[in-house]
Chain A
Amino acid sequence: MTASHRTYDQSHSGGSRMLVAMVGVGIICALLIALTYEGTLPRVTRLKAEALDRAIFKVLPGTNKSVPFAYVIDQGFVRRGGEETVGPTVYAGYDQKGNITGVAIQGSGQGYADVISILYGYNVQHQTVIGTHVLESKETPGLGDKIEKDQRFLSNFESLDARLNDEGTALLNMIIPVKFGNKENAWEVEGITGATISSRAIGNILGTSMTEWAPRIQEYKEDFYKDRSIEQ
């Protein structure tokens, strides 16, 4: 065997060893991830569903049961069955007597660190926002996460004005964020000092989402009462 042959063979076997090692480590890692994912998926799905249920009960005080409804253009709200998705979903809440307590709606928008996803309650009769809950947020702990904990900020959503205009096509007064201490009207969301961008984001999310959903819900609000079986 010549020197050049030896060098080729050595580098070839070294290359094969590297390849085998990388593929081997990759397979072990892929197996570990797949096993953990499969193992945790049922519990994660269940916990997420429970968390959503808890959030619905939190943003719609007095709720005893929630029912998902999908919105279909020109048809209104259709009660969702199973896992199929026919359109964007909202959750109607009912008390023990079967009376509607409100509708829980998901909204999202850009925060300081990443997209903030929230669930908020809408009182159909009084046309007000009656509660918010942050579903997903990567805001700075200790600062941005005050949007979930600051009681003064959360009091904005005890009865936030979201009335429609006479035509029922848009909000009478757009929900807007204002600086801390500057709130004068029932449709303004007073921000938090030290979490300005995050609190403004919540105000903007509500403004945008209500502009889209309030006219739809008011137009088809009878859909939430149609099926009396859901009130049992």
Chain B
Amino acid sequence: MREGGDRSARTGLLKMNFEGQTTDEFIKGLWRDNPVFVQVLGMCPVLAVSNTAWNALAMGLATAFVLLMSNILVSSLRNFIPRQVRIASYILIIATFVTITDYAIQAISVELHKSLGAFISLIVVNCLILSRAEAFASKNGIGRSIMDALGMGVGFTFALLCLGAVREIFGNGSIFGWSMFPDQFQEWIVMILPAGGFFTLALWLLIFNIIKERKAS
């Protein structure tokens, strides 16, 4: 009887520990290890696609989908893929899901595909996805890999939206295509240009670091 009680207590502890770990895997990507504001990963799409809020949102969601699916497949095959060919295999898996995303977006809406077409293929070279496959999914189980991908994906989408919103407001005078200012508003064209991406990213990094320092002190 005593032994049975110990076993159920141990199982309960293990379960709580697992749930705590998986929750932590999700939350870390949102804030503590945010892929853009902390790890500064995937800068190519962050700077290229964040010129409007819609583009930023669509790109963020597409990247999150590829990240989630590639993490699941890499984690499932982690004991099957030898060390020497792991990077080639991961790139093959990532490219596959990018192609699938491309077809899926075409099937959802031709208009959406038209506005994102140039940037979908950029997801293949997003080092965030490769780094999560190499650093996390290849060493952990499917459950934790899913939570890691969801956290990082949402964190990446949030960061892109932060940049996209600021750039669209100042560069186009609108947010999600809705006009925000009177007609007399003079758009800051530089905010839509690549230079504006660097300015906005620097601004958000500054704000993020100030908040982090205040929290730490």
Contacts and interface: CB of A to CB of B under 8 A. Distances in A.
Interface of A: 14, 17-18, 21-22, 24-26, 28-29, 32-33, 36-37, 40, 43-44, 47-48, 51, 113-114, 134, 136-138, 140-143, 145, 194
B171 A142 contact: yes
B109 A47 contact: yes
A22 B88 contact: yes
Nearest to B96: A29
B100 A21 contact: no
Contacts of A40: 103-104, 106-107
A43 B93 contact: no
B106 A25 contact: no
A143 B48 CA distance: 12
Given A141-B115, A143-B192, A25 B93 contact: yes
B103 A141 contact: no
B8 interface: no
Contacts of A43: 107
A71 B137 CA distance: 56
A37 B89 CA distance: 21
A45 B17 CA distance: 50
Most chain B beta-carbon neighbours within 10 Å: one of A36, A43, A140: A36
B148 to A, nearest CB: 21
A28 B95 CA distance: 12
Interface stretch (B76-84, B178-186, B200-208): B76-84
B117 A138 contact: yes
Given A36-B100, A47-B106, A141-B49, 17 more contacts: A14-B82, A21-B82, A25-B77, A29-B92, A29-B93, A32-B96, A32-B100, A33-B96, A36-B103, A43-B107, A44-B110, A47-B109, A51-B111, A134-B114, A138-B118, A142-B172, A194-B189
